[in-house]
Amino acid sequence: MIIAIDGPAATGKSTTAKALAKRLGFTYLDTGAMYRAITLLILRKKIQIGENFALISLLKKFDLKIQQHEKQILVILNGEDVSNEIRRLDVTKYVSEVSALSAVRKSLVKIQRKIAKDQNCVVEGRDIGTIVFPDAEVKFYVVADYDVRAKRRLLDFKKLGEEKSIDNLIEEIKNRDKYDSERKDSPLLKANDAIEVDTTNMTIEQQVDTMYKKIKLIEGKK
């Protein structure tokens, strides 16, 4: 069974998806972390962001693994744990631009489908229910108010020892939403059969409970 969780940045997708997967006993796949890893690699190699020969060559050689441990998910890029580095400010700044590249999306979608093949997965991203797994048994689309999303993102930056203002974060989130929704390849869209979950006034526990009950209800109808 595939559970697809889509939605814009900082709506609580990752935290909820991780907790939901644990409760269901499913594998958790954070596709956003995969795009961040490729963005980090591009920045490290100082490759110009765009459909160019250097990028195509890079995508033929990299090795990316998502390892699930009891307390955390590790992102292993070419044998190195980059789980913290992919949350850097410069990665956050460029990840939307990198994610919009067709060559990058094709490469990572292939890996995502391979990981999820023949196992139960909770997969989280922006085009999971529309492009990556259009036949997923259950689809959720997560939303939240801008203020709440900015406060959540602020906490992420504080954990990394970086300071940002709420106003700047709100502006960045709005720009990210616009960019993700308007990109030509796999734009951010709510699947027609997705269940919308507004997490603005929800705790993580409430988000997980809401999704878990919906899944069990759908399972019971089959």
Lowest-pLDDT range of 70-74, 96-100, 102-106 = 70-74
Domains assigned to the chain: 2-213 (3.40.50.300)
Q: How confident is the model at residue 222 (pLDDT cuts 50, 70, 90)?
A: low
- Over residues 29-33, the mean pLDDT reads 91
On the question of pLDDT at 160 being above 80, the answer is no
Contact 136, 192 (CB under 8 A): no
Helix (H) or strand (E) holding 139: strand 138-143
Closest CA to 176 of 99, 79, 61, 85: 99
Contact 11, 143 (CB under 8 A): yes
Q: What is the pLDDT of residues 41-74, one digit of tens each?
A: 999 999 999 888 999 999 999 999 988 877 788 9
pLDDT value of position 184: 86
Q: How confident is the model at residue 168 (pLDDT cuts 50, 70, 90)?
A: very high
% helix, strand, coil for the chain, step of 5: 55, 15, 30
DSSP 129: I
Q: How confident is the model at residue 162 (pLDDT cuts 50, 70, 90)?
A: confident
Chain mean pLDDT for the chain: 92
Contact 19, 46 (CB under 8 A): no
- Over residues 130-138, the mean pLDDT reads 96
Lowest-pLDDT range of 112-126, 130-144, 151-165, 196-210 = 151-165
The model's pTM is 0.87
Contact 211, 202 (CB under 8 A): no
Q: How confident is the model at residue 81 (pLDDT cuts 50, 70, 90)?
A: very high
Taking the alpha carbons of 205, 206, 209, 210 in that order, is the dihedral positive or negative?
negative
Q: Number of helices and strands (H, E) in the chain?
A: 8, 8
